[in-house]
Chain A
Amino acid sequence: MTRAPMSRLQPALAAVLVLTIAVFPLDHPTQYWLSVFVTAMILLLLNISWNFILGVAGVWNFGQLAIYGLGGYGAGLLMLHSPLPPWLAVLGGALGGAVISVLIAVPTLRLYGIYTSLLTFAFAEVIQYVILNDGTGLTGGSAGFPTAPGLFSALSPDAAMNAYYWTILVVVVLAMAAVAAITRSRLGMALRAVRDAPAYAAARGVSPLRLRMVAFAISGFLAGLAGALYLSFNQSISPSAMGLPPMSVDVTMFVIGGLGTMYGPLVGTALVTIVQTALVTHPGVQQTILGVFLLIVVVFVPGGLVGLVARTWRRVAEWADEDDDDEEEAADAAQQEGAEQHVA
């Protein structure tokens, strides 16, 4: 039947993918390539968090980068100025992200979607502005954060790189699994109900207030974690990680992949990273191409690339199963469409 192969295939494909990525370092690739992968994975984590709040929960949060940045700065400050071990500092950054995220959630509760976007966007800009102009030396201002030890300062550079690689891989896989599980759970269903049909959800007694806080907390935690990992890996962070250019890149990543879908961030991050790496010598062209690409995808391919693949797959499967009962197939297809569009 049409449904069974798809859902049997998914976990299998995922496992293969993870294994492939996991064994990559054993091939002794250059530091450059490993670094590209690690950076991509950190961004993937950020994008997963952003996709969750924007796509699944449907909240117009355009300030996620500020949480990311603050998670990084928070972790850095903990590493430098507190007795906590680096692991706990990273966790601290993540928790800080969650807290700040929830604090932002409060004023947005009463606002229309579009006002929330303005507010969160402005928030991100203001945070970046404040850090840029920070003369106290606490955050390092525009020069960037002073060097922080990171997670694996005890190891040799090569070993540390591998350690970061595998640690972050595990974190990303866990995060994806967690977000997928949450989305399929009652919480996830409630979030999607509030996103798609707020009046109906309210009539059913679903409380948007609590839900939104939870969504912000989860996505804030993951974004803060990504920022903390960024800081650890690069042993520093600067306001340029939070401005409009990286925001454009990130938004492009998960929108191209498919807003609200499970694999959207993965596909998008991978694709954009490939484009960026290929054009690394021409940053301006790179950004322009990404912008154009984003425009084309959003306008012409609703549901992003994941949506496109899902529709194509379904058509192929239907064609292959042409002998089967038509009605049953249509029901499966409809269910699949629901699953592909909203599962994350």
Chain B
Amino acid sequence: MSMTDVVGILVTTITLGSIYGLVAIGMTLIYGTLRILDMSQGSMVMAGSFIAWGVMAVAGWNPVIAILLAFAGTFVLGTLTQLVSVQPLLSRRNVVDFEMITFITTFAVALVFTNVALQVFGPYQKNVTPVISGGINIYNGVNLSYQALTMALVSVALMVGLGVFLARTRWGMAIRAVAQDLDAARLMGIPIGKLYPLTMGLASALAGIGGVFLGGLYFASPQAGDLPLLEALIVVIFGGLGSLPGTIYAAYAIGLIQGTAEIFVGTTWSLPILYGVILIVLIARPHGLLGKPAEARL
């Protein structure tokens, strides 16, 4: 394995890891507070890509506006999704198999989003202008695009920002409280009727920003949410559902595994190999690397 390979793996790790991280931390945030698996996260990535396309390629505005609008737009979509597909079921959460039912309802929402997008935008891919174009040759032919680099930086910034939000702000701490003990949190006066939609909106917005960058790296299409969803699921399985730090480690670990696999067996087989690795990890540690669903550690 040559130095070129190593650098290549490093680049892939950082690029993929950041994508996975952005989409997956949203999922972990939602699971930690609502105890549901949000299958509509992939749709939020897709929505972000389309917003970016609309803002940059169609209206010709600058990327910062795209990012802001994507954040706002997917925040709203996420909130709506929660209100429609999760909130009405909360009163029955002890009677029905809440986790499974919400898996299905958020899945239904994703289905609706995909098909609406199909109707509105048509089935063909749209090219999304990258936030920053160009790239540099960092080592012996290994190309690092500025888009990927920016995305990595933005991802890290967002993750840090999320961490600060959760640690120091009123609503951030409230989110952690709800994740750790719902009844006690309610007794503190924390209004879960507002907190739940807020959490889902926030998580969706993070995915939406991911979509802005992903769109530039690849393209925007109605099915473009499927792969990020799958990847996010793999990351959260691996890292443990309740744990934010676990999710971040897992995201980069999986980026690393996938990068290594790509060098040795090519892109086609990297996904199945990834799946195989995860299978093995799960057999050894059924809760993933760091997760204990019963004790969320946001």
Direct contact of A and B (CB under 8 A): yes
B102 closest partner in A (C-beta): A298
What band does the interface of chain A fall in when counting residues whose beta carbon is under 8 Å from B?
A: 35 or more
Whether B108 lies near A298 (C-beta < 8 A) is yes
The complex places the Cα of A295 from the Cα of B109 at a distance, in Å, of: 7
B233 closest partner in A (C-beta): A118
Whether A129 lies near B104 (C-beta < 8 A) is no
The complex places the Cα of A126 from the Cα of B233 at a distance, in Å, of: 12
B111 closest partner in A (C-beta): A291
Interface, chain B (partner A; CB < 8 A) = 37, 84-85, 88-89, 92, 96-97, 99-101, 103-105, 107-109, 111-112, 114-116, 118-119, 223, 226, 230, 233-234, 236-237, 241, 268, 271-272, 275, 278-279, 282-283, 286-288, 293
Whether B104 lies near A255 (C-beta < 8 A) is yes
Whether B237 lies near A119 (C-beta < 8 A) is yes
A154: chain B residues at CB < 8 Å are: none
The complex places the Cα of A184 from the Cα of B87 at a distance, in Å, of: 35
Q: Does A329 sit within 8 A of B, measured CB to CB?
A: no
The complex places the Cα of A252 from the Cα of B111 at a distance, in Å, of: 11
Q: Does A235 sit within 8 A of B, measured CB to CB?
A: no
Whether A113 lies near B100 (C-beta < 8 A) is yes
Whether B104 lies near A294 (C-beta < 8 A) is yes
Q: Which of A107, A118, A123, A130 has most B Cβ within 10 Å?
A: A118
Give the segment of A12-20, A32-40, A282-290, A308-316 that binds chain B: A282-290
Whether B116 lies near A115 (C-beta < 8 A) is no
The complex places the Cα of A285 from the Cα of B100 at a distance, in Å, of: 26
Whether A284 lies near B115 (C-beta < 8 A) is yes
Per-residue B-contact encoding for A108-125, CB less than 8 Å = 1, 0 else: 001111110111011101
B293 in complex: contacting residue of A114, A119, A288, A294, CB < 8 Å: A114
If A118-B237, A126-B272, A295-B85 are given as contacts, then 12 extra A-B residue pairs at C-beta distance below 8 Å, sorted by A number, are: A113-B99, A113-B100, A114-B241, A121-B230, A122-B230, A122-B233, A248-B111, A284-B118, A285-B115, A288-B119, A291-B112, A302-B96
A125: chain B residues at CB < 8 Å are: 226, 230
Q: Give me 12 A-to-B residue pairs in the complex whose CB atoms sit less than 8 angstroms apart, sorted by A's number.
A: A60-B100, A111-B282, A117-B100, A119-B282, A122-B230, A122-B278, A252-B108, A290-B111, A291-B115, A294-B111, A295-B109, A299-B89
Q: Does A319 sit within 8 A of B, measured CB to CB?
A: no
The complex places the Cα of A207 from the Cα of B265 at a distance, in Å, of: 41
B237 in complex: contacting residue of A115, A129, A133, CB < 8 Å: A115
